[in-house]
Amino acid sequence: MAGRQLTKRNVISFLVALAVGVILGTVVQTQLNLWALQAMGVAVGLDARISATGHDLVSFAPLYLLLFGLSFLISQGAAAVVSRFVGRGLRVPLFGLAGASGLWVALVLVNALAPMPTLIAATRTGGGLLAMLLTAAFAGALFARLTARPATGISSHASGTLLAFCLAVGLGALPGPTQAQSLSDYTVETLTSGLEHPWSLAFLPGGGALVTERAGRLRMISEEWELGQAPITGVPPVFNDAQAGLFDVLLSPDFENNQLVFLAYSCGTASANHLCVARGQLQAEALTEVVEIFRAKPAKEGSAHYGGRMAWLPDGTLIVTLGDGFDYREQAQNLSSHLGKIVRLNPDGSVPADNPFVGREGALPEIYSYGHRNVQGLVF
């Protein structure tokens, strides 16, 4: 009976410590992200801070529970084994160190496997990473205190009450599923196949279409929807990795006369890459006279969030969407950076004189709209 009670107390203590760690980690990462915005001059009032924190407790906490929960289970299990060989005075710091170490290992592994450079934005800096690790250390130390013999923590009844409260705050308001429109409302027909990550279509005036493959190929589809055997030549070098690659293809408004094709794509290397736009003249199955007309500044590291969608405005100017680069999200509010913006260009890449930030000190003149995450849908 005593062993069963001890096991029950250990399980309850683990769940309480886990819930506290998840809630603390969620709240801390929210505040770190808000402080990063404030450092750029964005006003964050108390109501916005409370709203963002509550939103993250609903939307981020369940995801963080999966990451932290697994690492916490393994790290605390390892600490329990090691604790048999150390003095009782070292038990609390041992479990705290194990909690922090387990989370650190989990973050390293996830960041290495995920397409985003950093899965949890708050850990992009050394200070942010340390703050998150401290929340895990606190959870580990709490678990050690709750399971100490004799019990120096809270009672089983209090543990259950605290656990219920933590779960209610952190996980109690999950949104319900959203019902999509029924597929029975659509007729689905396969017109062509054999493409690798097709990203965009541009329909040709005489029939058929151009289609981009994210891997860096531009393909021709005939009027009968037959895919050309060979890619169109002349496409500029594309940086292809994870979300990076060849994106939009757009025909000139006067394509029937000038045969000009515009491409948006990622260029550069994994450590220094950009969203680029080039134009060339389509001659049979080749692009000729290809020239880069735009390159986003500054260069960024990683291969996520490029935007890459283009559209023409009625005045003949070109608008291009640019993602925030994921790890650089605050730059969406920075007018000296192209990241997280929509830019407006003349067809030759020059800047229209009536762009909203032309002549403004510290602002890039191409910017048309700012504050975006990763716009990939665009229509005028």
Enumerate the active-site residues. 305
Please identify which residue in the block is written with the tokens 């710091």. Answer: 93
> How many angstroms separate the CA atoms of 204 and 202, rounded?
6
Dist. CA 269–CA 115, nearest whole Å: 15
Other Cβ atoms closer than 10 A to 227: 14
Nearest-angstrom CA–CA distance, 45 and 93:
37
* Token pair for 232: 């169109």
What is the rounded distance in angstroms from the CA atom of residue 116 to the CA atom of residue 122?
13
Strand order in the sheet with 286-295: 246-251, 260-269, 272-283, 286-295
**Cα of 241 vs its chain's centroid, Å:** 15
User: Phi and psi for 153 in degrees, rounded to 5?
Assistant: -95, -145
Q: For residues 332 and 371, is the Cβ–Cβ distance under 8 A?
A: yes
Q: Are 153 and 16 in contact (CB under 8 A)?
A: no
Segments in 60-203 forming alpha helices (H): 61-82, 91-113, 126-146, 156-171
